[in-house]
Amino acid sequence: MQEYLFNNEIYYRTNEFKSGRPTLVFVHGLSGSSSAWLPYEKIFENKYNLLTFDIRGHGKSKKFPNYSDYEIKNFANDLHELAAHLNIRKFVLISHSFASLIAAEYIKLYQENIRAVIFLSPIFDLEKTFLSKIGRFILKLSKIFDWLPFAPKPGHHIDYVKFPNSTDWSLKRCYADVSNTTLRAYSYCLKHSLQPEQEYLLEKIKVPTLIVHGTKDTMSPAKNSIAISKKITNSKLVLFDNADHIVVLNNIKEVSDAIESFIENKNLLE
């Protein structure tokens, strides 16, 4: 995998792209970075074309000062411009948690570019949960960032090997992630994810879809993914017993096996 910086804003990695095999694009969740996908790069780099990147405000990508900079459509457009830059015409879009909103927005705008979509621990309808009600109250305090000076430190990549079997609410991992992203960017992104007026039009997703969720997820309950699977016509739901929201880190073999099985069964060739 080689490292690059697109437009002096978006950090990304790719392997050598080869014709005749699917291209997989991985999008990480809130306060994380593309380092969450390192184990998957090792598993898949000799089988598929891979693109992993840091979403805006995260990891080694550029941080932005304003709340409006973190609207979901901006993340989707970053992905669209990066894919165009790399001449990626069709790809399998893999997203975790917050990135499910980015994926859905991208599909709403550019579904013709998608061969298939994989949602890992998606957070649709998060605004309806009890935790979101608490979160919205706390996030009212985020307005203070509008008045504070903006001088972000460059971000880096968290080594998640240091957080084995990390729970949904692991204070050490959360502190490492949020402090790297900055509380400003984190709160702005979280606030956008809780906007009830967002429309993702899941019923209009026509491409093959895999939904993976842990039954012990305490951030976004598995029942949400069960409901989502009924909205998307061409979808498959996989539930992991005793897995939590952080399936990307805690269930690497199960997730990678599910991804590969889905791709091979759908014969998603270039």
The CATH number of the domain where 104 resides is what? 3.40.50.1820
User: CA nearest 132: which of 70, 69, 195?
Assistant: 195
Residue 148's pLDDT band, with cuts at 50, 70 and 90, is low
Q: Bridge-partner residues for 26, per DSSP? A: 52, 94
CA distance 270 to 195: 36
Q: Hey, CA dihedral for 34, 125, 106, 180, is it positive or negative?
A: negative
Q: What is the DSSP string of the chain?
A: -EEEEETTTEEEEE----TTS-EEEEE--TT--GGGGHHHHHHHTTTSEEEEEPPTTSTTSPP-SSGGGG-HHHHHHHHHHHHHHTT--SEEEEEETTHHHHHHHHHHHHGGGEEEEEEES--TTGGGSHHHHHHHHHHGGGGGGGTS---PPP-----GGGSTT--TT-HHHHHHHHHHH-HHHHHHHHHHHT-TT----GGG--S-EEEEEETT-SSS-HHHHHHHHHHSTTEEEEEETT--S-HHHH-HHHHHHHHHHHHHHHT---
Structurally, how many domains does the chain consist of? 1
User: Is 54 a residue whose pLDDT tops 90?
Assistant: yes
Residue type, 208: P
pLDDT at 154: 85
Mean pLDDT of 51-73: 96
pLDDT band at 142 (very low <50, low <70, confident <90, very high): low
For residue 115, pLDDT beyond 60: yes
pLDDT at 192: 85
Judge contact between 238 and 210, C-beta under 8 A.
Answer: yes
- 50 pLDDT more than 80: yes
Q: What's the pTM value of the predicted model, to 2 decimals?
A: 0.93
Q: For 158-182, what is each residue's pLDDT tens digit?
A: 999 999 989 999 999 999 999 999 9
Torsion, Cα 76 70 229 48, to 10 degrees, reads 40
Mean pLDDT of the chain, nearest integer: 90
Instruction: Evaluate if residue 270 carries a pLDDT over 80.
Output: no
The rounded percent of the chain whose pLDDT value lies above 90 is 76
- The yes-or-no verdict on residue 98 having pLDDT over 80 is yes
pLDDT at 1: 94
Between 201 and 94, the more confident residue is: 94
Specify which residues 239 forms β-bridges with: 213
215-235: average pLDDT: 93
Domain holding 109, by residue range, is 2-266
pLDDT at 133: 56
Find the mean pLDDT for residues 133-137.
56
- Give the model's pLDDT for residue 60: 97
Lowest mean pLDDT among 145-154, 169-178, 216-225, 248-257: 145-154
